[in-house]
Amino acid sequence: MAITRDAIAPELTATIAREEARQRSFGRQLRRYGPIVIGALMALAMIVVAAAAPLLAPLSPSAQFGDAVLKGPGSIARHVLGTDEFGRDLLSRVIWGARVSLEVGLISVVFGFVIGVPLGILAGVQRGRTETAIMRCADMLMAFPTLLLALIIVAALGGSLVNEMLAIGVALMPNFVRLARSLALTIREQDYILAARALGGGQLRVMARHVFPNALYALVVVATLYIATAIRTEAGLSFLGLGVPPPTPTWGNILSEGRQYIKCCPWLTTFSGLAIMLAVLAFNLVGDALRDLLDPRLRGE
Amino acid sequence: MVQYLLRRLLVAVPMLLGAMTLVFFAMRVLPGDPCVAMMGDQATSEALSDCTKNLGLNRPLAVQYADYLWRSARFDFGKSFRHGYPVSEYIGRMFPYTLVLVLASAVVAAVVGIPIGILSALKRRNPLIDYPLRIFALLGLSMPVFWLGILLLIAFSLRFDLFPLIGGGDLDGVMAMIRSGEAFSQPADFLRAVGDVLHHLVLPAFALGFTLAATVSRLSRSAMLEVISQDYIRTARAKGHDERAVVYKHALRNMMVPLLTIIGLFVAIALTGTVLTETVFTRPGLGKMLVDAITARDYPLAQGAITVFTMIIIAVNVVVDMLYAVVDPRITYR
């Protein structure tokens, strides 16, 4: 007769079963996957709104309605969120504003990623002087907080969509350099890298075909968090009047223009700011949750 | 130690130089003439060329650059194009405003953020505590400081009229009273002036402090998590100490090192935060000065502001590095 665990310790089996049930329980699943689902849905909603802005916006974001200047939400049926000082429809402007935020958010992160990651991998794999040179430069840029660096660059180039992407991309780049390097440092010690080299793989091949794919997952997770940073930075620049210039609606410049009217018309600043917060929150949620799933030790960092 | 300090300072020099070079050329490649910005589109061409000459902008770029570096080395950032008086004087006047804002928001951020971070690390298994705290941290992290500022203004300045809408109070006057000794001869006036400054400070400090509290809580949470998973904590528990003693005597003391890192990061983030905070509260200070200078193409003022920002950040980092050795004797510097 085979000795089963039940025979020895029935209560242990019961405990294990209870634990497994707890793991499977709805509450547990919700705690684990809730944030990422909510964040992903919010981010997806934002992408849909930005992509379909011409279809979703009830009115043109630049159309001025002389009969509806600074009207509150709901006071005129045509303007659900009210109007600004030129009689432009706030809802339509906020919807179109999603475009700028998302474009800058995504493209500047891609830009920082595309420049930063190869440099970081090069530094981590090559070591020596190359590493010193790259890391010194990255450290120098890191000394500047993102917004400050982006502010200097955008001040130099002038406020426009492309310049903003460039400025935020450059400001984010050193983060990618650092992370890619630290990942490359671990990966280069792995056996499969040794194998790749033994098979005659050159430095470039090792970096592109072996180090990069193995670092990609972690890099993409962190990139999600930087989208949130980029969107917040964009909003900040726009708010300071250094971003995409009006009349193109951005959440930052709607908020900045609405600031003069907070006495009479707080809805202008309330809704544009709410949009910024929800967008940043969405990408923070997704990035956070992804990182928790990837590496529980990094939780809350 | 001294040698280490010297080396750190030597490393800081190229950093500062890089930053200043970046700023110098950044300010000059941009389209837009400071003279046009000052005098308007209607200015005659003679007036404009006079202005260009007076500001030294007709010299070769290399000469301007060398001149700028040489002067900056002596803390002479030139004269503001717009206001006419020396940049260093202007910065000296604005600095106290920014300093009190950073300090006050640091207090708010520390009082709110550190306990929340520690609590959420210790109670991470209890969803009823951990979850709300994490949501708070996420909200703070996602809330733009300028939006929070506006919401606070709408609620507490406009609706309830509890706090002023703009300005920073007469900090200049307070400083002058301290210098002249009036602070002691007429304490009533002095206290009234201080009270006014604090009154102006409440909303900005809360707005900036709250957004920073989120960052602080996350950093202290991960610092606490790191410490709590160390072997000596397990040893302390195994020896039968109660949880309170473990936390206060063993964990918190060892958190000093990560906490210092937080402070270093904090200053950099807070300084950037002042740019937005001062703008939204129309409060004088280095951050608002920088934005105004960039908008007005006031090169010397913008350069001076950014140089000072960079110096502060670098200096704080060096000091934090030094303090590591003080709080943790195991760290020595070669």
Query: Within 10 A of A64 (CB to CB), how many other CB atoms are there?
Result: 15
> Would the CB atoms of B138 and A281 count as touching at under 8 Å?
yes
Q: Which of A222, A223, A226, A227 lies closest to A291, judged by CA?
A: A222
Set of chain A residues whose Cβ sits within 8 Å of the Cβ of B306: 148, 152
Domain ranges in chain A?
A: 36-57+84-299
Asked if the C-beta of A241 comes within 8 angstroms of chain B's C-beta atoms, the answer is yes
pLDDT digits (tens, 9 = 90+) for A263-286: 888 888 999 999 999 999 999 989
Region A62-74: mean pLDDT is 78
Mean model confidence pLDDT for chain A: 85
- Is the pLDDT score of B334 beyond 70? no
Pairwise pLDDT comparison (B295 vs A25), residue with the higher score: B295
pLDDT digits (tens, 9 = 90+) for B173-193: 778 778 777 777 777 778 888
Pairwise pLDDT comparison (A115 vs A245), residue with the higher score: A115
ipTM here: 0.82
Q: Which of B36, B55, B53 lies closest to B44, judged by CA?
A: B36
Q: Averaging pLDDT over each range in A50-54, A63-67, A68-72, B205-209, which range is the top one?
A: B205-209
pLDDT digits (tens, 9 = 90+) for B17-59: 877 787 777 777 665 666 766 666 666 777 777 777 777 777 7
Q: Chain A: residue nearest B143 by CA? A: A277
- Which residues are registered as beta bridge partners of A79? A76
> Would the CB atoms of B275 and A301 count as touching at under 8 Å?
no
pLDDT of amino acid B33: 66
pLDDT of amino acid A282: 93
- Is the pLDDT score of A294 beyond 90? no
pLDDT of amino acid A7: 66
Q: What percent of chain A has pLDDT over 90?
A: 33
pLDDT of amino acid A3: 62
- Residue A108's pLDDT band, with cuts at 50, 70 and 90, is very high
Q: Averaging pLDDT over each range in A81-90, A202-211, B325-334, which range is the top one?
A: A202-211
Domain B88-327, CATH number (from 1.10.150.120, 3.10.310.40, 3.40.50.300, 1.10.3720.10): 1.10.3720.10
Set of chain A residues whose Cβ sits within 8 Å of the Cβ of B310: 143-144
Q: Residue B265 and residue B216: Cα distance in Å, rounded?
A: 9
- Residue A299's pLDDT band, with cuts at 50, 70 and 90, is very low
Region B243-261: mean pLDDT is 76
Query: Within 10 A of B326 (CB to CB), how many other CB atoms are there?
Result: 10
Tell me the nearest-neighbour CA distance from A104 into chain B, angstroms: 17
> Would the CB atoms of A148 and B275 count as touching at under 8 Å?
yes
A36-57+84-299 homologous superfamily: MetI-like (1.10.3720.10)
> Would the CB atoms of B23 and A147 count as touching at under 8 Å?
no
Q: Residue A300 and residue B136: Cα distance in Å, rounded?
A: 12
Asked if the C-beta of A232 comes within 8 angstroms of chain B's C-beta atoms, the answer is yes
> Would the CB atoms of B131 and A153 count as touching at under 8 Å?
no
- Is the pLDDT score of A1 beyond 70? no
Tell me the nearest-neighbour CA distance from B132 into chain A, angstroms: 12
| Residue B258: alpha-carbon gap to chain centroid | 20
Tell me the nearest-neighbour CA distance from A79 into chain B, angstroms: 22
pLDDT digits (tens, 9 = 90+) for A29-43: 776 777 888 889 999
Q: Which of B284, B275, B294, B279 lies closest to B23, judged by CA?
A: B294
pLDDT of amino acid A42: 92
pLDDT digits (tens, 9 = 90+) for B62-106: 888 888 888 877 777 777 777 778 888 888 888 899 999 999 998
A147, burial (CB in 10 Å: exposed 0-12, middle 13-18, buried 19+): buried
Domain ranges in chain B?
A: 2-60, 88-327
B223, burial (CB in 10 Å: exposed 0-12, middle 13-18, buried 19+): buried
> Would the CB atoms of A156 and B27 count as touching at under 8 Å?
yes
